[in-house]
Structure 1
Amino acid sequence: MAEKYPKDRFDTIPEDLHRVGAHRAPRARGRGWIGVGWAALATVVLVGLGVFGLSLVDSGNSFNGAIGSTSKSATATRTPTPTPTITPIVDPKLTVNVLNGTATAGLANSVGDALAKAGWKVGARANASETDLTQTMVYYSDPKNQAAALGAAKSLPGAKIGQTQDYAETGADLTVVVGSDYKG
């Protein structure tokens, strides 16, 4: 049974007051940041899933280099590989591409002719993307071609050898990049 209490000042509500839900507590401070946090988390997750999905679709993307790196920096990281125990060979079954890394016109053709005369099967002859290279290099991507790279370097006075995957997509077994030190 409901108990009756005497009327007091709280029982009379002014006529001009149109409040609904006056019993509710005020909103807690900082509550808006929860939505911002959830949005940031969702953005990070979606970007991560996008990068992962792209790496599955296109395996040619590489996320190992620095942002804005160019082929010039990739060229600078290659170092000649010392190989004193390997016996140089000439293998006419291997294809050799020749790239001119200098400003001298026609140098790729003359180096290609010298390699063909030495018994090599010369493929493409072209200009390199850089024209300021100083060292003539013979690059190989497969370690089994190291002796052949030494043989090609022996055919070119002053050439050094190095292993890199930069030219593997060309299909050639060896790639000669002629520098300004070539005296052929």
Structure 2
Amino acid sequence: MPSDVARRGAHRGPKRRGRGWIIFAWAALATGVLVGLGAVGLFAINNSSTFTSTFTGGSTSAADTPTPTPTVVPTVNPAATVTILNGTTTEGLATRAGDQATTDGWSVGAEANASATDIAVSTVYYADANNEGAAKGLAATLGGIAVAQSNQFLGTDLTAVLGADYKDPGNG
């Protein structure tokens, strides 16, 4: 080897032209794939998008359409076991409300004081879903108080707990 050549280290061939663009293209493709997978993953997690198959024609089935919930009509059920509890400090409130319910066709089994006297909202409770109409009917009889399904009072069909918002029938 001649001494005037100033080579040092291993000899490498010249770099090919356009090599930087190839690396950029691969990086852009990888970024696009990752962003696409992230978007699909977020849609799947949030369930905010529906993907339809091209094989099924994108039609929706009858199971996808919501069925309307039937409206329960308030009824008077004299066979229902009714308990009325006074959740206030007003003396005789349960008795007066029971008299009003009896006058309107309800069979009131018990009128008593509730375990607490600081109830704010009057509510008719029912455990069995079949008694919802009767609960709404009793609530309407007692002046349009709230109705709720609960397993708290299992001994009776309907339990009305009168609270501070109840309009006493003996006071006007």
* TM-score computed with the length of structure 1 as normaliser: 0.52
Aligned length: 100
Residue 96 (str. 1) matches residue 82 (str. 2)? yes
Gaps of 5+ in 1: 1-82
In the alignment, residue 108 of structure 1 is paired with which amino acid?
A: A
Helix, strand or coil: the match of 1:124?
A: strand
* TM-score computed with the length of structure 2 as normaliser: 0.56
Summarize the Cα distance change of 1:84–1:152 in structure 2 as closer, same or farther, 3 Å threshold: farther
CA distance in 1: counterparts of 2:108 and 2:81, whole angstroms? 6
1:115 corresponds to which of 101, 113, 116: 101
Helix, strand or coil: the match of 1:153?
A: helix
Summarize the Cα distance change of 1:84–1:158 in structure 2 as closer, same or farther, 3 Å threshold: farther
Q: Which runs of 4+ in 1 moved over 6 A?
A: none
What does 1:7-26 align with in structure 2 at a 5 Å threshold? none
**Match for residue 158 of structure 1?**
144
C-alpha displacement of 1:158: 3.5
Identical positions, percent: 49
Summarize the Cα distance change of 1:84–1:127 in structure 2 as closer, same or farther, 3 Å threshold: farther
* Aligned CA-pair RMSD: 1.4
What does 1:138-149 align with in structure 2 at a 5 Å threshold? 138-149=124-135
Summarize the Cα distance change of 1:163–1:181 in structure 2 as closer, same or farther, 3 Å threshold: same
Summarize the Cα distance change of 1:84–1:113 in structure 2 as closer, same or farther, 3 Å threshold: farther
**Match for residue 159 of structure 2?**
175
Gaps of 5+ in 2: 1-68
Helix, strand or coil: the match of 1:154?
A: helix
C-alpha displacement of 1:84: 8.4
Q: What is the CA deviation profile of residues 135-158 of structure 1, one whole-angstrom value per residue up to 9, with x for unaligned ones?
A: 110000000000000000010113
